[in-house]
């Protein structure tokens, strides 16, 4: 079964008796703890709260929670908290990592550090799902948060990371649109050259278990009517599951327009690590954090 909405995602996670264990690093941030507490109450995941035990207890008590309902791992410093989280993942005792009250750079460095053994592929990237009233299924966008100006090999890794996530969501052969401003290859527009190269890799069997088309404009990728008007025929046209943006700037602007102007619900995760990673911004809505936890929990169960 493929997941087509966040309601289906949450229901699927709740229906699975095997609950993912989410290790929250530096779990003394009120908003993060609240999100994880809600996820545990809703049967989405089991919380492993790593940080100063006195502060973690305080945060739980502020929320009116019974402290005995939660697993707390005492870690007096940020470094201790990161080390404990890495150990839990490598021991198979945590299925998801989540950033708490620490700098994103410190959190990501711990994941990237070779000695910690948390990297699975050649590159980490963010993939986020968006639920829109105007689109018949969940739309995935990548990478709008980590890789600034990826070359074609980096784009291949970004694409494959996101495809693996969509496979976990039950989409056997995701339709991938490599976004550009035009549909024709123009040597003066490097993103069109990269898009064409990715499409050819897919046709040659170098990129598998998906259908890649590009360069494609956003309207053709997401609107069958636009594709028909422009005379563009492709299995991906008007039915894309996954959009590959040219660079971080383009992706960041695009997804903020989706949430800020189009009212899209969203859930995102870092892919390419040994386990899914929840890295929501401090400004994220409570629902965004909840759905992001649900997405990571579901992906972790495979």
pTM across the whole model: 0.92
Q: Any idea of the CA torsion for 91, 33, 290, 260, to the nearest 10 degrees?
A: -130
Domain extents in the chain: 6-120+273-301, 127-260
Mean pLDDT (whole number) for 208-216: 98
What's the pLDDT tens digit per position in 165-183?
999 999 999 999 999 999 9
Please report which residue ranges of 44-172 form alpha helices under DSSP H.
53-62, 78-90, 104-112, 152-168
Provide, rounded to the nearest whole percent, the portion of the chain with pLDDT above 90.
Answer: 87
**Joined tokens for residue 195:** 């898009």
pLDDT of residue 302: 72
**DSSP H or E segment with residue 253:** helix 248-260
State the architecture of 127-260 in CATH terms.
3-Layer(aba) Sandwich (3.40)
DSSP 19: P
Q: Any idea of the CA torsion for 182, 261, 176, 119, to the nearest 10 degrees?
A: 120
Q: Any idea of the CA torsion for 35, 41, 43, 45, to the nearest 10 degrees?
A: 40
What's the pLDDT tens digit per position in 95-134?
999 999 898 889 999 999 999 999 887 799 999 999 999 9
pLDDT of residue 283: 65
What's the pLDDT tens digit per position in 133-149?
999 999 999 999 999 99
As a whole number, the mean pLDDT across the chain is 94
Has domain 6-120+273-301 been given CATH number 3.40.50.10950?
yes
């Amino acid at each position: 079964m493929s997941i087509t909405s966040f309601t289906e995602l949450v229901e699927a996670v709740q229906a699975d008796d095997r609950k993912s264990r989410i290790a929250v690093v530096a779990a003394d941030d009120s908003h993060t703890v609240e999100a994880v507490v809600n996820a545990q109450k809703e049967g989405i995941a089991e919380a492993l709260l790593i940080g100063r035990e006195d502060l973690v207890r305080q945060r739980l008590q502020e929320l009116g929670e019974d402290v005995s309902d939660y697993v707390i791992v005492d870690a007096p410093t940020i470094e201790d908290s990161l080390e404990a989280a890495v150990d839990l993942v490598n021991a198979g005792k945590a299925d998801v990592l989540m950033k708490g009250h620490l700098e994103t750079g410190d959190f990501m460095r711990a994941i990237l550090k070779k000695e910690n053994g948390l990297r699975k592929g050649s590159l980490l990237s963010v993939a986020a799902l968006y639920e829109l009233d105007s689109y018949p299924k969940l739309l995935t966008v990548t990478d709008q948060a980590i890789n600034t100006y990826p070359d074609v090999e980096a784009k291949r890794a970004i694409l494959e990371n996101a495809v693996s996530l969509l496979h976990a969501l039950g989409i056997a052969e995701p339709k991938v649109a490599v976004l550009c401003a035009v549909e024709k290859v123009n040597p003066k527009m490097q993103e069109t050259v990269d898009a064409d190269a990715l499409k050819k890799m897919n046709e040659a069997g170098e990129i598998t278990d998906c259908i890649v088309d590009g360069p494609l404009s956003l309207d053709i990728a997401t609107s069958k009517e636009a594709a028909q008007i422009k005379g563009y025929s492709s299995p991906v046209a008007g039915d894309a599951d996954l959009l590959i943006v040219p660079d971080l700037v383009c992706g960041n602007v695009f997804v903020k327009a989706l949430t800020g102007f189009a009212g899209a619900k969203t859930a995102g995760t870092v892919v390419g690590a040994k386990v899914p990673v929840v890295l929501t911004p401090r400004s994220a809505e409570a629902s965004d954090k909840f759905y992001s936890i649900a997405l990571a929990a579901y992906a972790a169960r495979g």
